[in-house]
Amino acid sequence: MPTCAPQLLRVALAFTAVAVVAESAAIAAESLAGRRPNIIFILTDDQGYGDLSCHGNPILKTPHIDRLHAEGMRFTDFHVSPTCSPTRSALLTGRHEFRNGVTHTILERERLTLKAVTLPEVLKASGYATGIFGKWHLGDEAEYQPNRRGFDEVFIHGAGGIGQSYPGSCGDAPGNTYFNPAILHNGKFVKTAGYCTDIFFNQATRWMEATKGRQPFYAHIATNAPHGPLQVRPEDEARYTGKVPERDGAATKKRNTQDVAKFFGMIANIDDNVGKLLATLKEMGIERDTLVIFMNDNGGTAGVQVHNAGMRGSKGTAWLGGTRASSFWRWPGTLTPNDIHGLTAHIDFFPTLVELAGAKPKDDVVARTVQSQVEGRSLVPLLQDPHAAWPDRTLFTHLGRWPKGDDPSKSKFTQCSVRTPRWHLVSDAKLGEQHWQLFDLTTDPGEKLDLAAQQPSVLSELEKSYDAWWNSIQPQLVNESAIGPAQNPFQTLFEQQFGSAPANKP
C-alpha cells in the first residue's frame, strides 16, 4: 500500500482483509464465517484480570460481567500489551503494536500509522455501521482520528484519558473531568451531563437503537474507567469503603485501601452498565443476533494488592500479570459456553471479526498486501470447537516507553518477553542490560522458579526468536522522531468552539 494511498484504495483494501484468514483450518458446514452478527466490544482501561468476581476476587462483585463469563466462550490464556495504546492498535490491525509504530502512550508514539488498514474500515466496507464511544488513544490529530479510520459514529474524549494533556498532539479538552465531560461527537464538542461511563454506554445504546434493523453494527465501547485519576460516583465508592483490607506495614495504608474502594466502585459502575446493556438487547429483540465481547486492555493496577489471580506482575510489566486479559464472547443461541485454553492474543481479534462479518476479497494483489499486515489467527475454529487443533505459536511482548529520542536498542531487553504455550522467557532488566529468566508455565503459572540455568537449549531457542523479531520490527518504528503540534488538537478545537469556557460544565 503506498504511503499516501487515496481513500478509494483504502476502501478496496478493507474489502480484502478476509484474505488473512484464508489459511485457517477447514471449517465445517455450520461455520460461523459470514454469520454477520451485530458486534458490541467492551474494553475497559486499567482493570486487571483479577478485578472480577468470576476470577476469584474476594471483595469486588461484578454480577453482570460474570454473566458474560458464564454465558459465553472464555479464552483463559488471552494476552494483550502491558499498556493501553499498544493493545488498542493491535486489536484494530491484527498485528503487533510496534509494527503500527505504537511504542508509547504519549509523545506522538501513540499514533496508529496511517498505512494500516483498520478493523472498522473492513467492517464498514462490508456493510456494517461502525461507532466508537469513549477512548480512542491512537492519535488526536485530525488525520489519525477515528472518523478517518473507519468509524461512522464518533463520540470520544482525547488523549489516553479524560482530562489528560501532554506536550504535543496527545491531550483532551481543557478542564475535563469524569463528571460532565466535554466529548467530541462527530467533529463537534458536546457538553454532557453525568458520569463518563454512564454517558458512553447511554450514547452507544441510543446509536444501536437507531441503527438496528437497517444493517449490522459494530459498537466499540471503550471506557476510560477505572483508569486514574480515581474520580468515582460517591454512591459507587461507598459500596467498597471499609471493605478493603489494610496492607500490613504500609504507612499510607488508609489512603491505599480507600483508593482501591474508589477503583472497585468504578468497576462496579461499569458492571451496572453492562447489565443495563444486556437488558436493552433483550428488549430490542436483538440479543440472539448480537455478539458481545468483553476485555480489559492491560495488566492490573490498583486492585492487584487485593487479588491478582495468582500471577506475577501488573500493568507495565512483561510478566503474565502485565499481559493476561479477560476475553469473554457471548452470542446466545450460537456460542456454547465453554473455556478455551489455547494461547491467544489481541492480534487475533481483527481476523476473527473479519471472518464473522464475511468480508470478501476483491483483488488478489491488494489481498496479499493486507495479508502481510495481519499476524494474528482467526479464533473462529476455537469458537466453534474449544478443542479444535490450535498449533503452537510464539508471541512477543515489549513495554516500549523508552525515553524520547533514545536509540530503541538501548531498551531491547527492558520489560520484554517471549511466550510459547509452555514457556515464558522474561527480562525485566534495567536499561541496556540483558537478564533472561525462564519459566515453565505448565508447572509454575506464578512464575516463581527461574529455569534459565537448567534449560539452556530452550533459552537459546527463544532468545534467537526474540532477536529475529526485534530486528524485524525496526523499520516499522515510524513515530520515534515525530514532532507534535505546539498545542494538542482537542484543546485547539475546543477553544475555537467555546473559547475558554470550562469543559466540565454542562
125-162: pLDDT as tens digits: 899 999 999 999 999 999 999 999 999 999 999 999 99
**Same domain, yes or no: 367 and 414:** no
**Same domain, yes or no: 359 and 410:** no
- Rg over alpha carbons for the chain, rounded to the nearest Å, is 22
* pTM for the structure as a whole: 0.93
Domain residues for the domain of 467 are 395-476
Separation CA 45–CA 267 (nearest Å): 10
**Same domain, yes or no: 32 and 70:** yes
**Same domain, yes or no: 381 and 420:** no
pLDDT recorded at residue 364:
58
Residue count of the chain? 506
Give every strand in the sheet of 324-325, ordered side by side: 324-325, 78-79, 344-345
pLDDT higher than 60, residue 57: yes
With respect to residue 247, please indicate whether it lies within any of the assigned structural domains: yes
**Same domain, yes or no: 326 and 360:** yes
**Same domain, yes or no: 94 and 73:** yes
With respect to residue 93, please indicate whether it lies within any of the assigned structural domains: yes
pLDDT recorded at residue 211:
97
With respect to residue 481, please indicate whether it lies within any of the assigned structural domains: no
The model's pLDDT over 441-496, given as tens digits with 9 standing for 90+, comes to: 999 999 999 999 999 999 999 999 999 999 999 999 999 999 999 999 999 999 99
How confident is the prediction for the chain on average, in pLDDT? 91
- Provide the CB-side half-sphere exposure for 402 (13 A, CA): 22
Task: Give residue 359's pLDDT band: very low, low, confident or very high (50, 70, 90).
Answer: confident
* Per-position b or e across 156-190, b if 16+ CB within 10 A of its CB: bbbbbbbbbbbebbbbbbbbbebbbbbbbeeeebe
pLDDT recorded at residue 431:
73
- For the residues 28-36, what does the mean pLDDT come to? 78
Task: Give residue 5's pLDDT band: very low, low, confident or very high (50, 70, 90).
Answer: very low
Residue labelled with grid coordinates 489471580: 309
With respect to residue 1, please indicate whether it lies within any of the assigned structural domains: no
Percent of the chain with pLDDT over 90: 86
SS3 of 445, please?
A: coil
- Which residues on adjacent β-strands are paired with residue 439? 424
With respect to residue 504, please indicate whether it lies within any of the assigned structural domains: no
3-state secondary structure 220-289: EEECCCCCCCCCCCHHHHCCCCCCCCCCCCCCCHHHHHHHHHHHHHHHHHHHHHHHHHHHHHHHHCCHHH
**Same domain, yes or no: 381 and 415:** no
- For the residues 22-34, what does the mean pLDDT come to? 56
Q: What share of the chain is helix, strand, coil (3-state, %, to 5)?
A: 35, 15, 50
pLDDT recorded at residue 27:
35
**Same domain, yes or no: 347 and 461:** no
**Same domain, yes or no: 257 and 212:** yes
For the chain, what is the domain count?
Answer: 2
CATH number assigned to the domain comprising residue 47: 3.40.720.10
**Same domain, yes or no: 180 and 145:** yes
Task: Give pairs for 315-318: CB < 8 Å, separation 24+.
Answer: 315/46, 315/48, 315/82, 315/83, 316/82, 316/83, 316/399, 316/401, 316/415, 317/82, 317/399, 317/415, 317/428, 318/82, 318/397, 318/398, 318/399, 318/415, 318/416, 318/417, 318/426, 318/427, 318/428
**Same domain, yes or no: 199 and 81:** yes
> Which of 19-33, 62-76, 173-187, 375-389 is predicted with the least confidence, judged by mean pLDDT?
19-33
With respect to residue 161, please indicate whether it lies within any of the assigned structural domains: yes
**Same domain, yes or no: 380 and 414:** no
The model's pLDDT over 296-353, given as tens digits with 9 standing for 90+, comes to: 999 999 999 999 999 999 999 999 999 999 999 999 999 999 999 999 999 999 999 9
With respect to residue 506, please indicate whether it lies within any of the assigned structural domains: no
CATH number assigned to the domain comprising residue 451: 3.30.1120.10
The model's pLDDT over 201-246, given as tens digits with 9 standing for 90+, comes to: 999 999 999 999 999 999 999 999 999 999 999 999 999 999 998 8
pLDDT higher than 60, residue 71: yes
The model's pLDDT over 438-455, given as tens digits with 9 standing for 90+, comes to: 999 999 999 999 999 999
The model's pLDDT over 248-299, given as tens digits with 9 standing for 90+, comes to: 654 446 668 999 999 999 999 999 999 999 999 999 999 999 999 999 999 9
With respect to residue 482, please indicate whether it lies within any of the assigned structural domains: no
Number of C-beta neighbours around residue 432 at 10 A:
11
Percent of the chain with pLDDT over 70: 89
Residue labelled with grid coordinates 484543546: 491
Task: Give residue 11's pLDDT band: very low, low, confident or very high (50, 70, 90).
Answer: very low
